[in-house]
Amino acid sequence: MRHRYGRLIKKDNIVVFPGALERLIEKGLDAVEDTDYAEAVEAFGQAYHFDPDNTRLLAPYAVSLYETKNFPLAKEVATKLLHSGTTDYLDAMELYLAISIQLQDYEEVEMTIETLLDEGIVPPDTLKKFNYLRDLNKRLSYRYIREVSEPQKHDLFTLDEFVQETTETQQKMLAVFENSELDQTIKKLLAQIVETESLHPIVKTYALVLLRDSGYEKEVTVQKFGYSKNVIPADLELPSQDERSINVVNQIGELFEKDPSRMQMAIDASLRYGIIAYPFCWDGFTTFEVADAYTEYIESMFTGEPVTNTELNSLIKSVDEQTDR
């Protein structure tokens, strides 16, 4: 009558009846529901030992291991989950990437997200989550590099000293202030950097984000690409994370619905704008006008035809040309 209970599982000369295995899985699922991840790990761990390919336990076991900070085993289980084909691929990938970040596998995370974006696997409605993971990965990567490097003490530089350096060196100088408490002297210096018209836009973005993260509530004047705006850094969203940028991405997705490759190129260009032109967000133009302009901009790359000479098209081109400078 064995067939009534399904297949028997035998490992290490021990026979496990399917009923016992199911009870362990149910126990683990109940523990997850109660957010008792330690108990869930214990129950799932026993089941996983005997049946590591059981698709019912892979996702909740990986989550439980993540919550209890057993990241190496969590990554092993998440890898099985990714290849199981029994769950939403992007949800499984998001979990896998979060675990990899905890393991400081920063290069792998960057390459994986880049591949997902390049191949158009990530739909517009979930793009924000993967861009957030990518941004988090980059910031932690920079922090890790600084921590493992030989400690150096730096005297606080002046604005005059700062402007004499190259754009790349200026970004490295600003990186020192990441994830640290900023006193009023440093905040004042960052505000001066934001308001220095001659500096590269990406440098101003970096300084403005640092002020934003520090909760700086004094008004600063930002000048980029012929535009000027007074902002309070503490009130700003992160670059490309504001509602306007997200709406533009969604609109681009609709316009390029049948051409994923060009869609991704247009979305990437809009996200670059969000970073370089920050905090300017195509002010004065509608969301459709912006998305349509990116459509024309990407088409021109393929056809070689120049874009229409409009203020918006000129702005988009000017910002995009700053990417590699």
CATH number where 9 lies: 1.25.40.10
What distances in angstroms separate CA 107 from CA 66, 115, 150, 224, one per listed residue?
A: 20, 12, 21, 32
Q: CA-CA distance, 148 to 166, in Å (whole number)?
A: 24
| DSSP state letters, 103-167 | TT-HHHHHHHHHHHHHTT-S-GGGHHHHHHHHHHHHHHHHHHHHHHSPP---PPPPHHHHHTS-H
If asked whether residues 96 and 201 sit together in one domain, one would say no
Give the model's pLDDT for residue 289.
94
Four-residue CA torsion sign, 121, 124, 128, 134:
positive
Under 8 Å between Cβ of 262 and 256? yes
What is the DSSP secondary structure assignment for residue 324, as one 8-state letter? T
Span 61-72, pLDDT tens digits: 999 999 999 999
The reply to whether 257 falls in a domain is yes
The reply to whether 152 falls in a domain is no
Number of independent structural domains in the chain:
3
Residue 303 belongs to domain with CATH number: 1.10.472
Domain boundary among 102, 124, 146: 146
If asked whether residues 45 and 74 sit together in one domain, one would say yes
The reply to whether 261 falls in a domain is yes
What distances in angstroms separate CA 280 from CA 72, 239, 242, 316, one per listed residue?
A: 42, 10, 11, 12
Under 8 Å between Cβ of 95 and 64? no
Tokens of 64: 């439980």
If asked whether residues 32 and 65 sit together in one domain, one would say yes
If asked whether residues 277 and 220 sit together in one domain, one would say no
The reply to whether 153 falls in a domain is no
Domain boundary among 235, 262, 289: 235
If asked whether residues 94 and 23 sit together in one domain, one would say yes
Q: CA-CA distance, 95 to 87, in Å (whole number)?
A: 12
Give the model's pLDDT for residue 1.
32
Q: Name residues of the chain where pLDDT drops below 70.
A: 1-20, 86-87, 143-155, 323-325
If asked whether residues 18 and 37 sit together in one domain, one would say yes
If asked whether residues 285 and 196 sit together in one domain, one would say no
Helix (H, G, I), strand (E, B) or coil at 315: helix
Give the model's pLDDT for residue 41.
92
If asked whether residues 16 and 133 sit together in one domain, one would say yes
Tokens of 212: 């934003």
Under 8 Å between Cβ of 270 and 245? yes
Under 8 Å between Cβ of 251 and 108? no
If asked whether residues 11 and 121 sit together in one domain, one would say yes
Give the model's pLDDT for residue 147.
56
Tokens of 183: 């006193």
Give the model's pLDDT for residue 189.
94
Span 179-208, pLDDT tens digits: 778 889 999 999 999 999 999 999 999 999
pTM exceeds 0.85, yes or no: no
Span 71-112, pLDDT tens digits: 999 999 999 998 887 668 888 898 999 999 999 898 898 999
Tokens 């990441």 correspond to: 178
Residue ranges with strand state E in the chain: 9-11, 14-16, 220-224, 227-231
**Distance in angstroms between the alpha carbons of the first and the last residue of the chain:** 74
Closest alpha carbon to 204 in 241, 176, 233, 179: 233
The reply to whether 80 falls in a domain is yes
If asked whether residues 202 and 315 sit together in one domain, one would say no
197 lies in which domain range? 159-235
If asked whether residues 172 and 120 sit together in one domain, one would say no
